Structure 1
Amino acid sequence: MIRGNLVNVFTGEIYPAEVKIKNNVIECVKQIGGKFNEYILPGFIDAHIHIESSMLTPSRFAETVVPYGTTSVVSDPHEIANVLGTRGIKYMIKDAANVPLNVFFTAPSCVPATPFETSGAIISAKEIDRLLDDDQIVALGEMMNFPGVLGDDPEVMAKIEAAKKHKKPVDGHAPLLAGEELCKYIAAGISTDHECTLASEVIEKRKLGMKIMLRQGSSAKNLADLIDSGGDFIVSDDKHPEDLLKGHVNLMLKEAVKLGLDPVEAIKMVTINPANHYNLNKGLIAPGKDADIVIIDDLKDFNVREVYIGGNKVANEGKPLFETKPLELQSTFKISYKKPEDFEIRSNNEEEKVNVIKAIEGQLITEESEAVLMAFNGNIEPDIGNDILKIAVLERYGHNRMANAFVQGFGLLNGAIASSVAHDSHNIIVVGTNSQDMADAVNKLVQNNGGLVAVLNGNYYSLNLPIGGLMSTSTANDVSSKLEELHDVLNIMGCKLASPFMTMSFMALLVIPKLKISDMGLFDVEKFEFVDIIK
């Protein structure tokens, strides 16, 4: 039996109540007299997150977020699916089954995300249909291939029809889509979007019936800009471990309230709203609902005191009350060691005008820029003084493809950084000031079986991510500590980005405007075609 000030997400009322639990389910809820200092809330639901982006296995992720009141998540496993297909999804499900956190999954709709990159797997419409037959798969994952929807691509439409057949929603991903194209996208059956960056986007999409997810991730933080425009859910999308150690959904609630949102309305966005949308027996304190309950001290700071999942106390005063034993996974790397000359861009002229990817702090979108660069000994050189660096993507699934280009916004003065986290196909991505350090960083990454690497003055700094090149079996504290060391090194190297590795990982995401890079070349997202490096 639990007593306190109940936040009723049905009526918006707050009153003293008693919650009776029997066989993991809420048996009865009664209003009572008395005064209480603590508040009873439904367990928090993060309605859209990629667990892989935390660099933690699902079980380690649970160990980290459950003490902050997260009792359920809807996770799109398209990161691991792009590496290992359905085998990767099964790994996520099995590892999550070892902890009390309710981990629901969506069937990844875009594996690969586009035909303009090399992924480790392909998930067909028939496989999507089989995945959606599983009760733990609650939706079709974000439909990033909006050109495929607009063009009535048969395979894309078959995946959407499979979701309709199973009576499960279809998540969207439609940055800057508007007008008649947006209407067609929604008419196909797509019901949510988490990629809004402008208030006008939110307003237009909500008017057309879309449910809007306000995102507050480690790299993309849109809550402050969009909260006054309305929204239906508050979600993480992508969160790094150092941020999760500070809090999860509770911190997003705190931020939303600080920005002026009514506390009860904010709570609805992480409880009843996602529960109703994904047809979960969660997110509500009512008879017959699963007894997932959070006890907090106030509706301003959202400090979590106790957490119950299925009526069992699973966390107390910020500490998990369960053990974690992450599952292992075999290597996923099939790539040869690289030489400095692999990273050179050749020219017969003394100078060249080139296209440049311009990274933007705190955003997934990039700008398209240009620069005039000098060529020495037939190789076009970066312009470190003007922050024009070299970038490359190397395919890691056995086909030996790679592409080189130029990028601005990282601020490196020397050295190189590399990562096997490169959305969405997760090939190896590397940014550097020179070809030697880039080759060294990539080779070290392959030796480590994946992860993050920085090379500075001949020294190596690494965070190993052996689970698909995406996740670690270590604790969030250990992963965060290694990541902090890497960020310190990057500061010495001149980089001022808040989350440089996460920002770099999105340079390969071909479904977010404007200019990106894959293992096949430089890519104009708005034109949806490759462009030349040299203009």
Structure 2
Amino acid sequence: MNHPTLRQLIDASEGVTKADRVIRGGQLVNVCTGEIYPADVAVTGDRIAATGDVSAYVGPDTEFVDASGKYLTPGLIDGHLHLECSKLSVTMFADAVVRYGTTSVVSGLDQFLVVAGLDGVREALREAEAGPMKIFWGAPFKTPYTLPETTVGFTFGPDEHAETQGWADCFGVWETVAEFVLNRDEKVLRALELAHRNRLPVFGCAPMAAPTTINALSAAGVRLDHESYTAEEALQKLRAGMSLLIRESSVAHFMNENVRTVTEFGAQSRRVGFCTDDMHVADILREGHLDKLVRMAIAAGVRPVEAIQMATLNCAEMYRIDHLVGSLTPGRYADVLIIDSPESFQVEQVFARGKLVARDGRGTEAPHAPERSAALSPAFRVKPLTGESIGVAAEGDEARVLVVEMDRTVPFVRQGVELTLPVVDGTVRADPAQDALYVTVSERYGKNGGGTVTAMINGFGLRSGAIASSAAPDDNNIVCVGADRADMALAVNHLAEQGGGQVVVDGGEIREFLPLPVAGIVADLAPEEMAAAEDRLEAAARALGCALPSAFGYLIFLEITAIPEYAVTDLGVVNYRTQDVVDIVRPAN
């Protein structure tokens, strides 16, 4: 994409170069001042040239857009997003969210990174440049994120930071997990020191953080955080000098809790923004994206203009990208929403980079994904799995076993429960009557032989069959939960053979399968097709007995070690507190 020079920006904003387009007749929501007043918007190329009385900017070829009776706001900014968790490629995800007014996202593209390396990240950024949604990339603080380190396709450390922090596309350090700072991880500290020298902001990830942890992170230069589980925790982070991102995702619902920092505790809203983190496409199409969060904040008692600031300028300022996006002001990208009113915030038209890209909830052009390189089509090197190889070794006829227990409220949070389970032929067996099932993680990269580890899990409720996914942050190894070992082996082997996806197996048959051929984690499917596939997968899982709010929404996060108490990785069951792999078979009394 050709970016305007400084001279061209000045010429456009002085009226020397005439506007390509004028959006006229609307009420402008000025997020810089908090005012709403009549103003037109002149657009030259992909930037805003002027607002207000723009008659001096009109030329013979200027196109006019009528916004009479409507309101104009900046495009919305998602402050923290793993877009790969939607299972849509960059092009298709943009088609899903731009229609609802999201024109910019901040992302580490970390799932592309751990699978396809820097070539995969570059390819995703080029893909975004060609579309209506901008990606402001943060270099992941380190990969893998896990403690202890698990197996990924590409590791990222200080040497990679030395390279990528110099990229024009790099806007900070992404998702710095608190434990690595508290552990004084030498590689992470070097990356943060490099960011400080380069004057790049550091983005945090500190769930359930104690006051001492928050103080340490603030001292380390962590500028913002998106992982507050209570309003009190969120307020403590604000008081310690951080900015706050309120998260409302498909599986983690914290808007109504954390907005209390503003509506009840009286914190200033100007250092508060919004993010979605992880979204299911079906939820986006049913409820909207960031526009939904604006409406939720207003319903909770936030003034409409403040809620719009939280979705635009606030986020831009905390990431230091407000010279590019976040307001309808000269020189910024011409990302303009035409809405019905600030109070109801229904997005009617979306302009991104100066062009009309969506109207009445639909894109103006069908999305077309680019050709994929070999970097985004890596082979799966999983050792073929048999049902007999699934299990946890134990002696006797029964064993006391630490079983990972799902939290039905928040899928990232997993406790542990000890259950007595049968032992047959030296292997702990599942007991669906106690909802004690097998869970496996199969290493996909072939670095450790492509082997599989087994643990036990509670909460999925499967009476038979198995569900599996190769899209599974933070490592994207194949994770599988099941009641039947043969079905689990079929599920894992099928995903490896097909180059990735999500699958439901029962009775030795594939009941549902969603291919994810791009890096084994996303697909070039239209959002409506992906939503239909998600619904079919969830229905098939429910038919096996799963009563969780989202079978696959809970499944894919089992490998995350950064949140209490237990995770399951290709190393085994990891204890968050001790940060090591634990023996789940308890000693006999």
TM-score category of the 2 structures, normalised to the smaller one = over 0.9
The answer (yes or no) to whether the contact 1:16–1:31 under 8 Å persists in 2 is no
Aligned-pair CA distance for 1:474? 1.4
Does the CA contact (< 8 Å) of 2:391 and 2:455 recur in 1? no
Q: Deviation at 1:502?
A: 1.9
One-letter identity of the residue aligned with 1:242: A
For the 8 Å contact 1:331–1:466, the answer to whether it is kept is no
Aligned to 2:289: 248
Q: Alpha carbons of 1:332 and 1:188: their partners in 2 closer, same or farther (altered >3 Å)?
A: farther
Identity %: 33
> Does the CA contact (< 8 Å) of 2:157 and 2:188 recur in 1?
no
Distance 1:35 1:100 in 2: 21
CA contact (8 A) 2:28 2:73 kept: yes
* 1:32-431 correspondence runs (5 A): 36-114=68-146, 115-144=148-177, 146-230=178-262, 232-246=272-286, 247-280=288-321, 281-327=324-370, 328=372, 329-363=376-410, 364-398=412-446, 399=448, 400-431=450-481
1:16 to 38, 44, 52: 38
Deviation digits for residues 504-527 of structure 1, max 9, x if unmatched?
A: 111110111111111111110122
Letter of the 1:506 partner, please give it: F
Give the greater-gyration-radius structure (CA): 2
One-letter amino acid matched to 2:377: Q
Counterparts of 2:275 and 2:488, CA distance in 1? 35
CA-to-partner distance for each residue in 1:207-265, whole Å, 9 max, x for gaps?
10111111111111111121112461110101111122232111111122222222111
Contact 1:67 1:320 in 2 (8 A): yes
Are the aligned partners of 1:16 and 1:36 in contact in 2 as well (CA < 8 Å)? no
Instruction: Count how many residue pairs are aligned between Structure 1 and Structure 2.
Output: 533
Query: What are the residue-to-residue correspondences of 1:429-448 with 2, within 5 Å?
Result: 429-448=479-498
In structure 1, stretches of 5+ residues that fail to align are none
Unaligned runs of 5+ in 2: 1-21, 55-65, 263-268
Distance in 2 (CA, whole Å) between partners of 1:35 and 1:213 is 31
Moved more, 314-323 or 335-344: 314-323
Partner in structure 1 of residue 4 of structure 2: none
Report the CA distance between 1:324 and its aligned residue: 2.6
Which deviates the most, 508-517 or 359-368?
359-368
TM-score under structure 1 length normalisation: 0.96
- The DSSP-based 3-state class of the residue aligned with 2:327 is coil
Counterpart code for 2:314: N
Report the CA distance shift for 1:30/1:349 in structure 2 as closer, same or farther (over 3 A). Answer: same
SS of 2:26's partner is: strand
The alpha carbon displacement at 1:163 in A equals 1.5
SS in 1 for 2:537: helix
> For residues 240 and 476 of structure 2, what CA distance do their matches in structure 1 show?
34
SS in 2 for 1:85: helix
RMSD: 1.8
Q: Closer, same or farther in 2 for the Cα pair 1:520/1:410, shift >3 Å? A: same
Residues 359, 507 of structure 1: 8 Å contact kept: no
* SS, match of residue 443 in structure 1: helix
Q: 2:551 aligns with which of 487, 493, 500?
A: 500
Matched residue type, 1:348: E
**Cα distance in structure 2, aligned partners of 1:397 and 1:173:** 27
Q: How far apart are 1:372 and its partner, in Å? A: 1.2
Q: Distance in 1 between matches of 2:460 and 2:300?
A: 30
In 2, Cα distance between equivalents of 1:428 and 1:195: 26
Matched residue SS, 2:542? helix
Q: Is the 8 Å Cα contact of residues 417 and 438 (structure 1) preserved in structure 2? A: yes
Deviations 1:94-144 (A, max 9, x none): 222221211221111121112431111111212112112122221110012
Q: Structure 1: which 4+ aligned runs deviate by more than 4 Å?
A: none
Equivalence for 2:14: none
| Separation (CA, whole Å) in 1 of partners of 2:475 and 2:379 | 12
Counterpart Cα distance in 2 of 1:67 and 1:476: 11
Aligned-partner residue type, residue 402 of structure 2: N
Residues 5-45 of structure 1, C-alpha deviations (whole Å, 9 max, x = no match):
2111122222222222223322222279x995311101111
